[in-house]
Amino acid sequence: MKTVIITGASSGIGAATAILLNKNGYQVVLAARRLAKLQGVAKSLNAHHLLVETDVTKVADVKNLIEASIQKFGKVDILINNAGLGYIAPLKEGKLEDWHRMIDVNISGLLSCIHTALPHLLEQKGTIINIASVAAHEVFPNTVVYCATKHAVNAITIGIRKEFREQVKVCNISPGAVQTEFLDQSEENENVKQMKDYFFNNETLKGEDIAAVILEVLSKPAHVAINEVIIRPNV
């Protein structure tokens, strides 16, 4: 039975992925800052799970996450870097603390998880899945710094693939509009209102759609590596 660590697992893509993988025979480690939310997700899981309260911006928390996973399940086969933040605002109205927070979570937090888990993933010839965004491949107005962080995620993914080919698999999954709590992170403004209207009043993607893609990526045989998936709503 493979062990998978999922960051940002308290809601949205992370929660849906934890539930689907657990139902399909994976031992799942759910990591997020909101323990109460994790406990809510755990109600949909079988016994093969672990909850670890984790802020990926704190290196000590990340080390504790990996250590707790090893102590519980003896190994780490898969790391899914899903924790992320996105603030929506024009550059001239953006807050410096929001920009720094996005960099801390989306880039530094991801790197801390990769660095800490990598020895265990190499030992298992495991898999790293980074949840990027279509913003990793394009730059949109009003989300410029967010796009920059996701471009960094894409670059990190490519670098891992080039440095560790045949030692670990790595996949960058880049969703378009997904109905999650993503937009709740920003202060209400006209741009956010327009995006919410599009996200929730159209048949856009759901966390379960991305979870299904992740399961498909993980289901491939050892000689097959899916390195990039871009998934958009067909609306």
- Residues 176-199 have pLDDT tens digits of 988 766 656 656 566 656 665 656
CB 226 within 8 A of CB 217: yes
- Whether 193 maps to a domain, the answer reads yes
Q: DSSP E strands: which ranges in the chain?
A: 3-7, 27-32, 49-53, 78-81, 127-131, 169-175, 228-231
pLDDT band (50, 70, 90) for residue 88 = confident
- Whether 141 maps to a domain, the answer reads yes
The parent domain of residue 149 ranges over 3-230
Which residue's entry shows tokens 């471009």?
151
- Whether 158 maps to a domain, the answer reads yes
- Whether 95 maps to a domain, the answer reads yes
Q: Which of 26, 87, 146, 198 is catalytic?
A: 146
Higher-scoring residue by pLDDT: 186, 11: 11
**CATH no. for residue 42?**
3.40.50.720
**Number of structural domains in the chain:** 1
- Whether 84 maps to a domain, the answer reads yes
- Whether 149 maps to a domain, the answer reads yes
Residue 198 known to be catalytic = no
Smallest Cα–Cα separation from 175: which of 103, 62, 88, 84? 84
The strand pairing partners of 3, in sequence order, are 27
Residues 6+ apart with CB under 8 A from 123: 75
- What do you get for the CA distance between the two ends of the chain, in Å? 38
Query: 88-102, 115-129, 187-201, 221-235: which range is least confident on average?
Result: 187-201
- Whether 235 maps to a domain, the answer reads no
